[in-house]
Amino acid sequence: MPNPWELTMQNRCLYSCYENGSNWKQEIGEGCFGKVFRGRLRRPESSLPPSDPSYIKVDNSQAVAIKVLKTPSPGIASITAERELLREARTMASFSHENILTLHGIVINECNMGSWLVFEYMELGDLAQLLRSSNGYSRSKEKESHSSTRYLVQEDLPPIAEQIANGMKYLSSRNFVHRDLACRNCLVGERPSLQPTEDLSNLIIKISDFGMSRDLHSNEYYKMGGSRFLPVRWMPPEAILYGKFSEQSDVWSFGVLLWEIFSMGAIPYYGHANEEVVTMILGSIYLEPPNSAPPLIRQLMIEHCWKKVPSDRLSFTEIHAKLTGFSSASPPEESQVTSHRYVYLQPLPDLEQ
């Protein structure tokens, strides 16, 4: 991948949305500090030679997602947002994996719009909303950001979990802790050359949001004391109590993500306020796996991800190995999961409050 910092300085005209604003296709997300648009990525007329460090090989017109900071204004908030955006760019520039979202480049202080990042576009949107839409629920007030009518079925779910585990295995091998692993931060696309079959889904899942996600989804975050907003419904006890994040805390979050997937997009601890959720987690009252979850998935959640002692949890390498080749169509097994400590929370739709 080209160095996005060098690309920024010499290839700003690369982005069609740079010209006059008329090529911004569609707003697909908005947060406290910025917005995300769908646009087109085009090679400039005076292309650089391939030997140039700023050269990027792309199609003549490629769909992209553009994360844009709002017009800069004085104050700590704008400075913080700029730092977060640049940190996210630095982080993502070092990643190269099929299940990690690709960063194409960054533009700094262009068109008086503030800085913006340009990512590959995932046409089916984020996994949380796709699951909810497949479950018969969609937010009528939200923008229709994705025109695809693709819906998820039970057979899609195990391969989705396996791909996310694969991406997290890669991140952990790079000693990177995500801290915010959840379905809302996983994007979904389709492999255009691959037709779905009984044994192979054409869906591709990419982990995203390595810095700005808490600003884009502030309603699912909770400010504890004087700290930053935190996704407590996805956090283990040691992260809530001591702010300790590690691969093991990401593994806990992966267990909650599995619960989201197999409950078809329900909000963890639905019906409980964030303060109640914190009390429940610290009191060892966890989620009950959905009844529709296969035994292996239930076992992963309870016996391997939600262990109170971090060292008792599996690594992502071990989790990925368990999920590889797994299919919900496999012969049923007798579940040996003991769940008497876990309060069952009905996986209800994400109703607006």
Active site residue 180: yes
Contacts of 247 (CB under 8 A, 6+ apart): 172, 177, 315, 316
* C-beta separation of 118 from 107 below 8 A: yes
CA angle 3, 168, 39 (to 5 degrees): 45
Q: Where are the strands (E) in the chain, listed by range?
A: 26-30, 34-41, 62-69, 103-107, 116-120, 186-190, 203-207, 222-223, 229-230
CB atoms within 10 A of CB 317: 13
| Closest alpha carbon to 107 in 46, 64, 57 | 64
Which one is catalytic: 126, 180, 215, 250? 180
Collapsing DSSP to helix, strand or coil, 230 comes out as strand
Using alpha carbons only, what angle is made at residue 126 by residues 121 and 127, rounded to the nearest 5 degrees? 130
Residues with catalytic roles: 180
